[in-house]
Structure 1
Amino acid sequence: MARIDVNGLALDYELIGDEAAPPLVLTPGGRYPRDTAGVPELGEKLAEGGFRVLLWDRPGCGASDIAFTAPSESAMNCEALVGLVEALELKDVTLVGGSAGSRISLMGAARMPENVRRIAIWWISGGPVGLAGLAWFYCGDQIAAASKGGMEAVVQLPSWADQIGRNPGIRDILLAQDPDEYIATMQRWGKAFAYSDESPVPGMTEADLAKLTMPVLTFRSGKSDMAHTRETSEWVHRLLPNSTLVEPPWGDQEWNYVSTFPVDSTNRRGRFERWPLLAPMLLDFLRG
C-alpha cells in the first residue's frame, strides 16, 4: 500500500504481482474502494496469471483525496487514472474494469491510446433510467443534504462515511466547500450523466471510442440488467474498432442477484464478490 500525489491529490494504491510483469490497472465501480470484496481477489488471480496489477482508490473513493474542480466525477477519475499511470511510469498498460470502472477505463484509454495494450470491460452503465439513477446516486443526495443543512449535513451522509473513516482529510475538504458552489458542482456532475442518443458512454463521443483501436474484450450485459443495459454493451462493442463481444461467466440475473448482497468487507461480501469468476476468460484474452 502506498500514496502518491497526482494532479494535487493524494491517491492510495497497491501493486501486486511480479515487478517485471506487464502492468494491468483494475478499476472497480461505484464509489467503492480498491479492497472491496472481489476486487483484490480478482487482482490476485490476474497477478498469478502473469500481470503486475495496480489496485487503486479513485478520487473520492477509499483513502484517496477528492477535489471538485473537474467538469465531472468521471473526468476527475479518468484524469487521475492517466496521471497515476504516468507517475508510476507504467508502459504498455492493460486496463480492466467493471461498471464505473469500465467507463473510467475507456475514458482513460482515449486520453492515452498509445500507452494502452488491451482493455477488458463489463457492466457498462447506460440507458436513460440507468444513467438517471447514477445522477441521483452520486449527486442527488449531496444536493439534498447541502440545500437543507449545508456542508455539515453533507459530511454526515452515509455515502461519505467510509471515505472519511479511511481519510479524515476528506471531511475537511468537504467542509471547506461553499454550499451553493457545491450544489452547482453537483448539478454539473449530475448533468454529465445525462443520456444521449449520440453515444452510449457519458463523457465520450463516437470519435473517442473510434480512437481505441487496441483489442477490447466487451462482456455483454444481462437482458435483465437495467443499470448496465444490454443495449449499452452492444452499442459500445459496435463503436469500438477491435472489440470482441462475449457472454459473461454468470446468468442473466447476475446484477439483480448481487445487488442484494450485503457490503461486508470483513466477511468478503459485496456486489463485486463474484468478479473472480471472470479471471479465466480475462487471462485467455489478455495474454494474447
Structure 2
Amino acid sequence: MRAGQWLAWMAGQRDEGRDAGGGGTGRGGDQGLQRIRLADIRPNPFQPRVHFDEASLAELAESIRQVGLLQPLLVRPAADGGYELVAGERRWRAARLAGLEEVPAVVRPLPDQDAAVLALVENLQREELGFFEEAAAYQDVIHRFGLTQEQLAALLGRQQSTIANKLRLLRLPMNVRQQIVAAGLSERHARALLRLPTAALQEAVLQEAVAGGWSVRRLEQRVEQVLAERAGAGEATGGKPATRRQRRLQGLRAIKDVRILLNTVRAGVDTLRRAGLPAEMEQADYEEFVEVRIRIPKGPAGGERRGPEGASSR
C-alpha cells in the first residue's frame, strides 16, 4: 500500500473512532483504534526530523490541554509488549508536555519499510522538513531497505529527479551543512556551493556569503568568479589542481619563457649596436622578477644627452 493511502486510511480510522466512542484501552488484539498509555509508546527509530521547534511544541501542548488530542497517533506493536510510534511524533511529544497519561492511537502491525516511509511522508506533508533532513531521510530509507531512487519516488508519489536533486545536497561536508542551517540560508544557496570542487572552497565562499548576507544570485556570481579564476590558474593542467610535479614543470616553463624574452631583448640591443648606436643593457635578477634597463642615446654617439631643460644628463 502506498504511503498516501495509509494516511487516508488513518483519517478514516480517526472518524470511526469518534463514532465508536474512542475504542478500548490496552493492546486489545493489536488492531484498530485504542487508547494507549503514553509510557508504553517509544519514539520512531526511523524519524527523519532531527530538530523539533520548542515554541511550536509548546503551542500544540496548550491546544491539547484545552481540547484534547483530536488526531490519533499511528503505532505498531513492539516485540517487548509496548508500542513503537510510526506517525505523529510532534503530537506524541506535545501530549507528554501537556501531561496526558493516555492517547488515542491506531495500532497496525507494519514492517520496517512501511514504518520508515510513513514517517517520512507525514513529515513531508504535514510540517516541512529541513532540506538536509529530507535528503538524509531519503538516503536512509534507500540504504536501509535497498530501494532504488525510482522505487522511493513511486512510494512517495514524487519524481525521481526530485529525489536525486535532494540527495546531491549530501555531497556538501557536514560542517558546511551545519553552517548553512545555522545561518538560515536556503536550499538554492546550498546548490550554488555544490558547484565548487573542494570542501575548503565551499567553506571559504560560504563564510563570505554569511558575512555579507548574500542573496542566492550574489553567491552564484561569486562561485562563477572562483571557478573562472581556477580555470585560468589550472589551464595547463586541464582545470585540475596541479600536482607537485606539475607545479615544478610550470615553474620551469615560466623560467624558459623569461629567458626567451631576455634573449629577444638582447638581440634587439645587438641590432642597435651594429647600426652604430651605443645601446646599453643592464639586467638585475630579484627573487620575484627580473629588472632590465636599456639606455639608448638621443644624440650622435659620444655627444651630450640633454634632459628636458637642456641640461647635460650624462
TM-score > 0.5, shorter chain as reference: no
Higher helix share: 2
Tell which structure's C-alpha radius of gyration is larger. Answer: 2
- TM range, normalised to the smaller chain? under 0.3
Using the size of structure 2 for normalisation, the TM-score is 0.22
Using the size of structure 1 for normalisation, the TM-score is 0.24
Higher relative contact order (CA 8 A, sep 6+): 1
